[in-house]
Structure 1
């Protein structure tokens, strides 16, 4: 089984090819460039380098959010188009779960992957590895970093914080949790597309047409429109 994974849900861009139990190719960048322009050439280059043709693929796995609204849409749209065109299964995986799996596989404690959501807020969740698999202890959510720190303080085990945005909130976690807070190294902050492929490899396929991203919250423009048109919607 050859699996193509795609992650454009946040700042880092990643694509990978998994063939059975072997990672045959992986491409990651963490630079400020347009995902919409770069992701298809990245997929094409990786497949060419690995001598994989589109008809060789057995499944598409995509990071479905949360994260950047535009980034999530790009990855999901491309994944749906490829899956539909090639008539192969599509699977979506939480972008936070991918990040947790990328850094916490051998961490004996809880793992809190996070993305900055501005205004002191973060997208986060809590995972733990059990028998080699990620187990969600808390669902993906959007909340203030300060509130998350207080919530984590109630449990005794150490918590590994991972993600390129951790440094924005590190002081908050250190102040609230002290030695209970552990921070991933810089080489572990990028979500690995190979982990995404592995997470989705054995998951049940989803309906291509009804598959949608997990934004957790509405885009600001959408929220403002709903607020401005609340009375019209009620009618």
Structure 2
């Protein structure tokens, strides 16, 4: 089974092809450039180099957020369009989970992927490998970095932090957690699209039409519009 994975949820853009138990190829960049004009050429180049056609694909796996509102939307829209057009299953995976999967497989402790959310906030969660499988310890959430780090002082094992935004918060994390905090190498901060493909290849497909990203919070513009118009999510 050939799986195409797509991740445009943050600055890093990644696409990969996984066939059964082999990574055929992957493409990753970590550049502040427009994903909307780069992702389809990246997919086309990868498939051409791997000698695959759209008819060979059996599943699409996409990073569904959290992350950049625009970036998440681009990846999900393309994934939904491809899945619907090719009539193949679509699977969404947490963007934070992808980072955890690519970093902590041999780490004896917890993994906390970090995306900066501005104003001292981060998107994060807590994961752990058990028996070779990645488990969710604390669900993905939006939290104040100081509050999150303080909460993690209760953990009985060290915590591995990973993510391209880690440098923004690393000093504060180290100040609060001391030697319990471990930090991934810079070569591990880009989410691997091949890990995304592996996470999603055995999961059941989701309904393409009702599939939506997981932004965790509203985009700032949408939140301001709702506030200005006296509306809530439920009314």
Which bracket does the TM-score occupy, shorter chain normalised?
over 0.9
Once the two structures are superposed, what CA deviation does each residue of 1:187-235 show, in whole Å capped at 9, x if it has no partner? 0000000000000000111000000000000011111111111169999
Check conservation: 2:226, 2:232, Cα contact below 8 A: no
Distance 2:27 2:203 in 1: 23
Q: Which moved more, 1:224-233 or 1:91-100?
A: 224-233
Distance 1:138 1:19 in 2: 31
State the number of aligned residues. 235
Task: Provide the residue aligned with 1:204 in structure 2.
Answer: 204
- When residues 62 and 233 of structure 1 are mapped into structure 2, their CA distance, relative to the original with a 3 A threshold, is closer
Distance 2:45 2:205 in 1: 26
Structure 1: where are the runs of 5+ without partners?
none
- When residues 109 and 53 of structure 1 are mapped into structure 2, their CA distance, relative to the original with a 3 A threshold, is same
Question: Where do 4+ consecutive residues of structure 1 move more than 3 Å?
Answer: 231-235
Task: Provide the residue aligned with 1:53 in structure 2.
Answer: 53
- When residues 233 and 176 of structure 1 are mapped into structure 2, their CA distance, relative to the original with a 3 A threshold, is closer
The answer to whether 1:178 aligns with 2:182 is no
Task: Provide the residue aligned with 2:26 in structure 1.
Answer: 26
- When residues 108 and 81 of structure 1 are mapped into structure 2, their CA distance, relative to the original with a 3 A threshold, is same
SS, match of residue 114 in structure 2: strand
TM alignment of 1:155-174, pairs within 5 A:
155-174=155-174
TM alignment of 1:180-195, pairs within 5 A:
180-195=180-195
Distance 1:104 1:115 in 2: 17
Residue 156 of structure 1 deviates from its aligned partner by 2.0
Distance 1:107 1:232 in 2: 42
Distance 2:131 2:70 in 1: 35
Distance 2:133 2:30 in 1: 26
Give the TM-score normalised by the residue count of structure 1: 0.98
Distance 1:221 1:187 in 2: 34
- When residues 95 and 234 of structure 1 are mapped into structure 2, their CA distance, relative to the original with a 3 A threshold, is closer
Task: Provide the residue aligned with 1:103 in structure 2.
Answer: 103
Task: Provide the residue aligned with 1:79 in structure 2.
Answer: 79
Distance 2:176 2:144 in 1: 13
CA RMSD of aligned residues (A): 1.3
- When residues 231 and 32 of structure 1 are mapped into structure 2, their CA distance, relative to the original with a 3 A threshold, is closer
Once the two structures are superposed, what CA deviation does each residue of 1:158-203 show, in whole Å capped at 9, x if it has no partner? 0000000011000111001100000000000000000000000001
Task: Provide the residue aligned with 2:14 in structure 1.
Answer: 14
